Amino acid sequence: MPPLLSIENLVTSYGGVRAVDDVSLAVDKQARLGIVGESGCGKTTVALSVLRLVSPGRIDSGRILLQDRDLLGLTEREMCAVRGQRISMVFQEPMSSLNPVHTIGAQVTEALTIHKKMSRRAARERAVAMLERVGMPSAGSRFDAWPHQLSGGMRQRVMIAMALICEPEVLLADEPTTALDVTIQAQILELLGGIQEQTGTAIVLITHDLAVLADFAQRVVVMYAGQIVEEAPVGALFASPAHPYARALLDSLPAGPSAAEGGRLPTIPGRVPDLRALPVGCRFQERCSFADETCRTQMPQLESIASDRRVRCFHPLRSAS
């Protein structure tokens, strides 16, 4: 079966600096795909590119196919019909995405009255049902509440309700739980998982925290400095990461091997290189203990190491099995 959404050789830049550099990935129907990487690796730019909302950046090249249609070839009007209806997005900061001067009901129903030409009354019924579904207690009375009257977790539930109200085929969830405390985080992830199972909406969950993907994703794409460095089924990635960066992300998890040994590595030493001054060769070389002359002179390509795994490394780690 062809993928629902496929991104092919996407290059997106801000002021001529490539934030996403030749990214290709596929989202299958009903999939739960994770995209992980530290801040600044280009994750949000990938998602915004899919919706063609990268301004002030620009998409330089590539294709973004939703089934057979290249979204990059659509008119702005056609693109408006894709956004929210076929592909929708949830952002990290629910407060900045909700409009403070409109009630949550008005915001959740807006897409229905615009895209689906529903009557206010039918839209209200549908919206209340959706708010219930995303776990909003007394959804009927909360319909007329203002964003500032809700907690962060409840606002994020409203954002998810808005994103799902038109039953999109793909939901891009960009750090949807990062601003929330751990308990609420777990509830929102469970909610997203349940929605994926019940509705079949494919979910792309973007996060800097690999731990978030352990129980959620089926496949994981690891990004570093604008490139994909590894892609693997979630179990394989956790059991035996092939790229040293994926390994470092795993080791920095609180329950990772280093924590078990008594050490604590909350972050990976060093930092993501400046995209305006990238080193020649592998972008991870400065933080990698395996880097050698080859890594400092040549760019490793993203290559298949199994039917369902890709890695961009001259010295991939051996499988633990």
Ligand X SMILES: Nc1ncnc2c1ncn2[C@@H]1O[C@H](COP(=O)(O)OP(=O)(O)O)[C@@H](O)[C@H]1O
Residues binding ligand X (CB under 6 A): 14, 19, 37, 39-45, 56-57, 275
- The answer to whether 205 touches 192, Cβ cutoff 8 Å, is yes
Cβ proximity to Mg ion: between 47 and 160 the closer is: 47
316 contacts which partner out of ligand X, Mg ion, none, CB within 5 to 8 A by kind?
none
The Cα-based distances of 177 to 61, 92, 155, 180, 265 in angstroms read 31, 7, 11, 5, 22
Closest-by-Cβ residue to Mg ion is: 44
**Dist CA 293 CA 311 (whole Å):** 19
157 contacts which partner out of Mg ion, ligand X, none, CB within 5 to 8 A by kind?
none
Q: How far is the CB of 312 from ligand X (least distance, A)?
A: 17
Question: Reading across the β-sheet that carries 219-224, which strands appear in turn?
Answer: 87-90, 170-174, 202-207, 32-36, 219-224, 227-233, 309-311, 303-306
- Return the number of other C-beta atoms located less than 10 Å from residue 235's C-beta: 12
Q: How far is the CB of 45 from Mg ion (least distance, A)?
A: 8
Q: How far is the CB of 87 from ligand X (least distance, A)?
A: 17
312 contacts which partner out of ligand X, Mg ion, none, CB within 5 to 8 A by kind?
none
**Dist CA 123 CA 174 (whole Å):** 26
| DSSP string covering 155-197 | HHHHHHHHHHTT--SEEEEESTTTTS-HHHHHHHHHHHHHHHH
- The answer to whether 22 touches 10, Cβ cutoff 8 Å, is yes
Torsion of CA 156, 67, 58, 95, to 10 degrees: -10
266 contacts which partner out of ligand X, Mg ion, none, CB within 5 to 8 A by kind?
none
**Dist CA 3 CA 169 (whole Å):** 12
Q: How far is the CB of 39 from ligand X (least distance, A)?
A: 4
**Dist CA 51 CA 180 (whole Å):** 25
40 contacts which partner out of Mg ion, ligand X, none, CB within 5 to 8 A by kind?
ligand X
**Dist CA 191 CA 201 (whole Å):** 13
Q: How far is the CB of 18 from ligand X (least distance, A)?
A: 9
Cβ proximity to ligand X: between 2 and 270 the closer is: 270
Cβ proximity to Mg ion: between 19 and 87 the closer is: 19
244 contacts which partner out of ligand X, Mg ion, none, CB within 5 to 8 A by kind?
none
Q: How far is the CB of 94 from ligand X (least distance, A)?
A: 17
Q: How far is the CB of 275 from ligand X (least distance, A)?
A: 5
42 contacts which partner out of ligand X, Mg ion, none, CB within 5 to 8 A by kind?
ligand X
Residues that bind Mg ion (CB under 5 A): 44
